[in-house]
Structure 1
Amino acid sequence: MATPNAQGVYEFDLELAYTFSMYSPSNNTPMVYDVNSQKWLRINSTLDSLCNSSSVVTGNLDYALQDINQFSGLHVRMIAINGKIPGDVIVVPLGAEVIMRFKNRMETKSLSIHVHGLNKKGLWYTDGAAFIQQCPICPNSEYSYRFIADTAGTHFYHGHLSTEFGEGIIGGFVVKNLNRKTPDIKGNLLRPSREYYALIQDIGILGIEDQWEVAISRFDKYGKQLNDEWDLSNKSNCWSHARIYDGTPLAYLSPVSALLIGSKGWYSQKDLRKTPSRVPLTTYLIKKGENVRFRFVNAGVGHVIMLWLEQHKLTIVAADGIDIIPIQVDSLVIFPGERYDILIQGLTAPKQKNYRFIFETLERYDYSYQPIEKTIGLANLQYEGSTLKDTDIVDFAHKDCTPADKCKNADPLYVDKEIIQQKVFRSGYEEYFVNIDHDEGINGNLFEMPQGMPYYYYGHEDEILVPCNSTICNKKNGEHCRCFTQFNFTYGNIVQLTLYMSKDANLIAGGKSHPFHMHGTHFYVMKMVYPQGYTKDGLLNSTNTDIPCYGTTCYGLKFKNSSWLNGNVDGMNKNPSFRDTIIIPMGGYVVIRFRADNPGWWFAHCHFLIHHIKGMAFAFRIGEHSQIPKPPVGFPHSCGIYEQPPLKAGSTTRKSGHPTTRRPTTRSSTKKPCRAPPPGCPGGPYGMFPREGCPPPCPSPSSHSSESYGSSERWPRPPWCYGRNAWKYRCSHTKRGHHHS
């Protein structure tokens, strides 16, 4: 656990900079690892000669390798946090005041940072959703997040502007409740003797920048080439063509190069399957009979991961940071954004030195429904001090799996009984139905980021965003509207969201299940319903009919049984899971509830990276504007639009609701005309602000006009007030009922 400063604050300075994997700064050379000889080799500094025996790293190997980011074992440009990929795990106690200072040294890339799992109660503007809660952190600038670690459990931090959490900007974040002990499967309280934090990531064959180009610029064309043979020299073929066990496809992703566990993975599936003992894997130590806690996080871009451990049971004790009634399982499926805490008890008589954690994707078929091999990743659970030999035999067939209990729920230890009632609510309750579609976003709209923080544009939001009910939203060639999808929840109300994907057409289009994440709140999973129709081979062939849809669009639907409305949904869980990330099954739906008790502007989205960027997201506001906590004085927020005023005095047209400089109004011809403003003053030519200040304004025939030189604004004003956006927020004046300073 970290140590606080003299004021009791936990401070972390985090520098973000480009680096290369498999590169050693201390040796000033790229590195390679030879699996056959198990030797680490320096590449000649001239970069044009082959590795040879003279390049073998000798001496203290641990020291020589400590500054190498192994990543997938390939040489890839990535982003390091204080030189590491991923960044160090941050561990603080519950209730700690935390400062995370990020120094952007990437030269060409802006970003923001989100701590996934913290509710940030009362501090919505520290949550890190770019343009909604803050301006992006520009290159060569620094930005600090100051907040309270208000949510105990296993979390992680990652970039939240575009592709950052697939490029290395990621790290663990653990909040410990020091007064809590962990129950084992029998309900006995215990404190594990040690614990490990394990990030799981899927890494594509392409570099992240190439994936971005393929995904955004040519998405439709490449996505349709479903059965082409791989040709890595042609980006049009660099997509994953796999289907999972129920026949629905994976998210559009680059084929996996490696699964990373912690900071290590390996690009060669052959090496992992044939000679795992020779591959440099992440290794976790355990003693005979010892209880160890593992904190597993799927921090990947889009792949769903199934986790196994040879000859050991997994006891799940927490989900998304929330303690649950312990349950024992053979394996665990983790979607991106989900976290699980698992207890593992060491064997009393182990028969081998290393037992393998097996991480595998859910790939089962190609697009023609022909069986294919899964992508796997491995890590070692090693018995400390063991003299037993390692082995290359791995239980990929999972022979110890027991089919008796196919699926188990994560039931929390405590629930808010008022929220989870099944009844018809008469007051203090809101209900929404949200269609989530892999191609059509939220209720048929693709989310478009605003060009500024909505909080600061209250009352004139149309200056920075396109509302989804606006006629401005033009649809061309069947495209869906790109607009700012938004919900407003009343402070203190119980909110129920029914998130569904019941569209029959989705089965043909290749719809897929999605991990859905809400910022700023945890929610109860009241009901999860899967499709009703499967073939004898387990392939999905029809959707659930509780929310029936028989057309090409399925927006604005409700339950077929109207008695289920207003909170009276049949078949809800009596002891529901309490999560911040949940799966919406393809062809089914999920009902979630939470209390809207955290006022502010928040974000919700699919946690598949490509879908988040593509528009499967929405913003939501809890509370009225007057109920939302105000950001501190000086909070940077003018981040989206700037248009320089004219260099010379003269009238210009008003565009998009942004203020423009107008020619000063003159008096009647019988009176002396107003003197032209000098350089540097409103309405005058561009120039330095005059030392003696600007002259008093001329009387204005329209006293309500605050944008002309003849207004009643205070003079003199400093020169930095004259930028079109800057003057609205940095100068003390009243505009549209809001006072800014």
Structure 2
Amino acid sequence: MLLTQQEYRWGDTIQVTVKNDIVDPEEGTSIHWHGLLQKDSPWMDGVPSITQCPIAPGESFTYSFIADSYGSSWYHSHYSAQYADGVFGPIVIHGPTAADYDIDIGPVLVTDYYHLNYTTINERAFNSNFSVVAVPGVNSLINGRNNYNCSLVDEGDTSPCVSNAGVSTFQFTAGKKHRLRFVNAGASALQTVSIDGHNLTVIANDFVPVVPYQTQYIKLGVGQRTDVIVEGLADATGSYFLRSQSPAKPCADTIQPNATAIIYYQNEYLPEPDPWPAFTDAVEVCANEPLETTVPLYPIASPFNPATTWDLNITLAQNETGSYLWYMNNVTFRGDYNHPILLLSNLGNNSYPNPEWNVENFRSNSSIRMVVNNANPRTHPMHLHGHNYLVEAVGNGTWDGIITRPDNPQRRDTQLVPGNGYMVISFTADNPGAWPFHCHVAWHVAAGLYITVLERPDDIANYKIPSTVAHTCRNWWAYTNSTVVDQIDSGL
């Protein structure tokens, strides 16, 4: 199911009650509010085993927090890979803007789509046969719609298939400037987005406004957002394709990688088919735009000498039973739904005996730099909760120590680290909490590509966490005392 759009204003108190009515089979659930910093409310981040216990079947939990950022984002389940089955939706938070536009078209969600449920895909992904570890998506969607070539359906796939299911449509006005809020809410695939006959002017990446720049296309890893302004053609009356294209391996793997929607001015009709653009000016297919291009509108300088620098290595390897899993610094994550890390830290327990919890305690360090090294050809969209980090360097091979535009590096909460490459990020440790840092490919984080950044635990101990959080744990404990929870993956 695609859940409803949430729309707020900067500074609003957001209250959302989530009722777990999942059946056949019953599962826990939670909702994460992607990109929101959750300052002074880390227990509302919505990550089971980290900031809360799962919401037990039949139970409810009310999330309450401040809209502390503005722009475009999304919310989604963070229980296993549950959101890949459709538990997600867009968020728009209105705030100050320097951008000039006339019409807000609203969120445009680009996603991959699977005919199998997420548990079946996870079971296939955790395999000792390397050739089947990456399960391909079936289709690509724009706002939940796209046609599909039913001849591509796998033998034995009983999912109903209609070749002319229809596509999403958006109306433009000639000569007017339109704001489109693109969100990659998929499970795995990188998406390249363009509009035939129109240029895109980028005004924000994630929740960070940028100095506007014009481009033919944008590239979005899972979890990333880009806001653009598109000027309507003067005196236009026709229709044009809005395209979202998922590239081939190692960036992604989708059986039908191309999705279309229709931009129309007066009469809604199918445009004449043109070849898919090749984007031959792309610096690298499996990467975001060059850091030199994306300049934050409001500058923050890179720390000259951060309090701590930490190397983080991503690898793919087989465990003791032969299954391929993802590792961060030689640990593959597995959460404990019954003992959330944040709640333990609040009680003064910051020594985690189980190495699978993969907690890095940064204590009272005032600033943190991470050098992320990816020893695998697959690109990873790396998302950090609780922060917009400075993206200081991205490239192939190993980091040479040079920071791109140190007086004002790109900032965002999700950035692609290239295959066989590196990403260097830094942030000020001004938000005490237990913050997940993970790949946003659903099947990768489910296979352990995750670590917890424990930030200022002495301050975490001073938090007065609402009693509803403990009540949710008691409900979950009661449920698990009578029901065996089959945790087939990392839990996230």
TM-score by length of 2: 0.84
2:47 is matched with which residue: 112, 124, 129?
129
Query: For residues 467 and 378 of structure 1, what CA distance do their matches in structure 2 show?
Result: 47
Query: What does the per-residue CA deviation read over 1:151-176, in whole Å, with 9 as the maximum and x for residues that have no partner?
Result: 11111000001122111110011111
Matched, 1:259 2:108: no
Equivalent residue for 2:341? 454
**What are the Cα deviations for residues 287-310 of structure 1, in whole angstroms up to 9, with x where unaligned?**
111111100010100011111211
Which residue of structure 1 aligns with residue 420 of structure 2?
Answer: 587
2:327 to 413, 418, 441: 441
Q: Among the aligned pairs, what percent are the same residue?
A: 24
- Describe the superposition over 1:393-447 as per-residue Cα deviations: whole angstroms up to 9, x where unpaired: 133145xx57398854321011223xx14x4x3xx61110100124441111101
Alignment-derived partner of residue 64 in structure 2: 146
Distance change (3 Å), C-alpha of 1:373 and 1:303? closer
Greater Cα shift, 432-441 or 320-329 = 432-441
Tell me by how many angstroms 1:461 deviates: 6.1
On the 8 A contact 1:356/1:394 being kept in 2, the answer is no
- Decide whether aligned partners of structure 1 residues 341 and 208 sit closer, same or farther in structure 2, where only a CA change above 3 A counts: same
Distance in 1, Cα, partners of 2:443 & 2:213: 33
Alpha-carbon distance change, 328 to 438 in structure 1, aligned in 2, over 3 angstroms: farther
Q: Which residue of 2 aligns with 1:603?
A: 436
Show the counterpart of 1:324: 210
**Aligned residue identity for 2:58:** N
- 1:88 is paired with a residue of what secondary structure? coil
Question: Aligned residue for 2:128?
Answer: 220
The counterpart of 2:295, out of the listed 382, 390, 411, is 411
Alignment correspondent of 1:289: 175
Q: Aligned partners of 1:592 and 1:195: how far apart in 2? A: 32
2:453 — aligned with what?
620
Question: Which residue type is aligned with residue 418 of structure 2?
Answer: P
- Aligned mates of 1:627, 1:105 — CA distance in 2: 32
Tell me what 2:102 maps to. Answer: 192
Letter in 2 for 1:362: P
AA in 2 matched with 1:138: A
Matches within 5 A, 1:362-377: 362-363=247-248, 375-377=257-259
Cα separation, partners in 2 of 1:365 and 1:582, compared to 1, 3 Å = closer
Specify whether residues 87 and 214 from structure 1 end up closer, same or farther in structure 2 by C-alpha distance, changes over 3 A only: same
**Residue type matched to 1:259 in 2?**
S
Call closer, same or farther: CA 1:405–1:106 in 2, change over 3 Å: closer
Report the counterpart of residue 347 of structure 1 in structure 2. 233
- Taking the aligned partners of 1:210 and 1:600, their CA distance within structure 2 comes to 33
Deviation at 1:279, TM superposition (A): 5.3
**CA shift for structure 1 position 180:** 2.5
Q: Is the 8 A contact 1:155 1:174 kept in 2?
A: yes
**In the alignment, which residue of structure 2 is the partner of 1:633?**
467
Relative to its length, the structure with more strand (as a share) is: 2
Say yes or no: does 1:578 pair with 2:399: no
Q: 1:261 to 1:148 in 2, by over 3 A?
A: same
> In structure 2, what is the Cα distance between the partners aligned to 1:337 and 1:152?
16
Residue number among 494, 509, 514 corresponding to 2:367 in the alignment: 494
Change over 3 Å in CA distance of 1:287–1:279 after alignment to 2:
farther
| Higher Cα radius of gyration | 1
Q: SS where residue 604 of structure 1 aligns?
A: strand
Task: State the distance in 2 between where 1:144 and 1:162 align.
Answer: 20
How many residue pairs match? The answer is 449
CA contact (8 A) 1:360 1:374 kept: no
Gaps of at least 5 residues in structure 1 are 1-79, 81-85, 183-189, 226-238, 240-251, 272-276, 469-482, 531-543, 547-558, 560-568, 646-741
* Alignment of 1:381 onto 2:263: yes
- Runs of 4+, deviation exceeding 3 Å: 364-367, 371-374, 389-392, 401-408, 455-462, 625-628, 637-645
User: Kindly tell me: are residues 435 and 92 of structure 1, through their superposed partners in 2, closer, same or farther at Cα, counting changes over 3 Å?
Assistant: same
Q: Which amino acid aligns with 1:141?
A: E
1:593 Cα deviation after fit: 0.8
- Letter in structure 1 aligned against 2:390: Y
Q: Deviation at 1:141?
A: 0.9
- 1:119-144 Cα offsets, whole Å, 9 max, x none, are 01110000001011011011111111
What does the per-residue CA deviation read over 1:195-241, in whole Å, with 9 as the maximum and x for residues that have no partner? 2211111012433342233234xx223x335xxxxxxxxxxxxx7xx
**Is the contact between residue 118 and residue 151 of structure 1 (CA under 8 Å) also seen in structure 2?**
yes
Q: Is the 8 A contact 1:112 1:137 kept in 2?
A: yes
**2:16 aligns to what?**
100
1:623/1:391 Cα in 2 relative to 1: closer, same or farther (>3 Å)? Answer: closer
The whole-number CA distance in structure 2 between the counterparts of 1:158 and 1:614 is 18
What's the secondary structure of 2:467's corresponding residue?
A: coil
Question: Is this contact kept in 1: 2:54–2:476, CA < 8 A?
Answer: no
Gap change, CA 1:380 and 1:143, over 3 Å in 2: same
627 and 610 in structure 1: CA distance in 2 versus 1, 3 angstrom threshold = closer
Deviation at 1:644, TM superposition (A): 12
Deviation string, structure 1 residues 693-713 (Cα, Å, up to 9, x no partner): xxxxxxxxxxxxxxxxxxxxx
Over aligned residue pairs, what C-alpha RMSD do you find? Answer: 3.1
1:90–1:172 contact (8 Å) kept in structure 2: yes
Give the structure 1 partner of residue 83 of structure 2.
165
Change (3 A) 1:545 1:141: closer
Report SS of the residue matched to 2:5: strand
Q: Separation in 2 of the partners of 1:279 and 1:642?
A: 44
Task: Report SS of the residue matched to 2:192.
Answer: strand
Contact 1:452-1:639 within 8 A present in 2 as well: no
